[in-house]
Structure 1
Amino acid sequence: MRKNYFTKTLIVLAVTSISCDDSVSDEFEEVNGKVAEKLVSSAIITSISDSSDKTTLFLEYDGDNRLSSVSNGEDTDRFIYSNGDLVNVTGQGDNLSIEEFYQSPYDAFEVGQIEEYDSNLNPSKLVFFQEIYENNTLRKVEYTAEITYDDAPNPYFFTLKSAGIIDVLDGIQLNFSMTPQASEIIKARKLLFKNNPSKVLYRDQNNKPIVEIDVDYVYDTDSYPVSATVKAVNFDENEESFYTATFTYLQ
């Protein structure tokens, strides 16, 4: 069953800090400088070979430019605020209390272990495990993902900030001598990319490439992507897939 899929994906992407002193916003600015604060209003990805294969996300904001809902046309997650702070995310009859960030792990945070960072402290190599069932035996296989980035800011950063998610993450203590936080959240907090990822290469346990995704962006004058061409190669199946993507921002 879907459980706030997009919202939890946002939260996973939203979590970064290597330093115990700097806030998430500080680190983002250290890498990118002062950039335009744009809010994503839609993202549409369509298969070039099959127009019915389309993923669409619509984001809406309230009068204070806070993210109020995210919808894929069928399911909607709504952001609830109290006294200016994000307190709840609701969707599909499922509630995600902000208090729970500090109490319970979520499956969405099971995203693997960071092995390497690039010069901008973006996670550049992740190790994760996939369960495979074969010969009546269930076993875990180690995979890696190598990520490279364009010299452009994470285009979702200020959308996350508008929802109060960055403030929540800045509240996580990384000083382990103080009140402990869930280890899954601390791990996730380190995962937010500060730049825009443009390539992901997946390798199997034998270091053999299995899938490669390349994204060629067209940027506006503020270095925010407005469109992209996506190429996905499955080496095992010797197959290539192509997609187009468009992005719009709140005016």
Structure 2
Amino acid sequence: MKNRNIYLLTCLALAFSCSDSATDEFEEVNGDTEEKLIKSISVISMQDSYENQTISFSYNNEKKLNSVSNGEESSLFIYGDDNLTNVTGGGDQLNIEELYQSPYDAFETGQVQEYDNNGNPYKISFINKIYNEDTYEYENVDYTAEISYDDTPNPFFYTLKAAGIIDVLDGVELNFSLPQQAANIIKARTLLPLNNPSKITYKNELGNIVYDINVEYTYDEQEYPISATVTAISLEVNETGTYSVVYQYL
């Protein structure tokens, strides 16, 4: 799996303000949602046990997120004066593309082109590097990802809030010394889904579908996923991967 620091997902940097906070938008779309914190996510591959992983979340007594680990890499969350001040370590366990073995990183590097009626990123453009066998060089090619959502809350939202990440996206001023990442926090804010992604379709520069991820969830009474079946289809190499996912909460 791709090795990227988790703070690139959340773009922990300078404060960012907007007309509506991420929290306001989440509550407007999802109503009075019960706050649940993720304890673990287990992914079992139906075709290769090497792809199996369990992502564990640990919290302190105040239910602030302490760490996220997949058993090989860990991200540690450091707080000062009750605010998140740094994230150390490696891994990218909160990226849904990474979680479901996608070969792309649209949710990390992409630009939102369209939103759906609930304000979720629907169409994202991103650059995919493709090797040219004639020139022996990699070329940047424009790809797009189109995302569909279940009408249920993003199950990661309150876990991100417990990490202080939503406060960053809401514009709370923290003690980060990464001014070069100012543009990235804006990008992270625009890419934050309010609902639960259930389908991602990737298209190449010609508009042809090259990769498809479909997720069928089973939900509890609070509309949080407790299990899922993920089907990932690569049309370029005619391969299909199937994954079983189990969610546990505090």
TM-score, normalising length from structure 2? Answer: 0.83
Residue 33 of structure 1 corresponds to 31
- For the Cα contact (< 8 Å) 2:230–2:243, is it kept in 1? yes
Q: Which amino acid aligns with 1:51?
A: S
Q: Is residue 74 from structure 1 mapped to residue 69 from structure 2 by the alignment?
A: no
Q: Which amino acid aligns with 2:40?
A: S
Deviation at 1:108, TM superposition (A): 10
Residue 149 of structure 2 corresponds to 149
Within a 5 Å distance, the mapping from 1:112-123 to structure 2 comes to: 112-123=110-121
CA distance in 2, matches of 1:225, 1:234: 25
- For the Cα contact (< 8 Å) 1:3–1:91, is it kept in 2? no
Consecutive unaligned residues of structure 2, counting only runs of 5 or more, are 91-104, 174-179
Deviation at 1:3, TM superposition (A): 4.6
Q: Which amino acid aligns with 1:225?
A: P
CA separation of 1:131 and 1:172: change in aligned 2, threshold 3 A: farther
Counterpart secondary structure, 1:190: helix
Q: Which amino acid aligns with 1:118?
A: D
Alpha-carbon RMSD across the aligned residues, in angstroms, is 2.5
- For the Cα contact (< 8 Å) 2:147–2:201, is it kept in 1? yes
CA separation of 1:221 and 1:71: change in aligned 2, threshold 3 A: same
Moved more, 197-206 or 163-172: 163-172
Residue 188 of structure 1 corresponds to 188
Deviations 1:193-237 (A, max 9, x none): 000000000011111111111000000000000000011111122
CA separation of 1:172 and 1:146: change in aligned 2, threshold 3 A: farther
Deviations 1:174-194 (A, max 9, x none): xxxxxx982232122111000
CA separation of 1:208 and 1:32: change in aligned 2, threshold 3 A: same
Identity of aligned residues (%): 49
Deviation at 1:74, TM superposition (A): 1.7
Within a 5 Å distance, the mapping from 1:72-151 to structure 2 comes to: 72-91=70-89, 111-134=109-132, 135-136=134-135, 137-151=137-151
Counterpart secondary structure, 1:182: helix
Q: Is residue 241 from structure 1 mapped to residue 241 from structure 2 by the alignment?
A: yes
Consecutive unaligned residues of structure 1, counting only runs of 5 or more, are 93-106, 174-179
Residue 45 of structure 2 corresponds to 47
